[in-house]
Amino acid sequence: MNTVVEVLVLGAILAVFAAMAIAGAVAESAPRSLVTVRSRTVEPPRPSARR
């Protein structure tokens, strides 16, 4: 029974690691314009900062 639990735990760890690697690759390949648009929607630039 322990071996089944160990296999499930290792599988979950590997799945999380693979998901993080895929998310990192997608973030690396995303164009810079999308990143700037997302940052602008989260924090709009203040008019006082432009002056």
What pLDDT digit, counting tens, does each position of 9-50 carry?
A: 999 999 999 999 888 877 777 665 555 555 555 555 666 655
> From start to end of the chain, where are the E strands?
none
pLDDT at 7: 95
The 8-class DSSP code of residue 16 comes to H
pLDDT at 23: 84
Which amino acid, residue 10? L
Evaluated on CA atoms 41, 43, 45, 47, the torsion sign reads positive
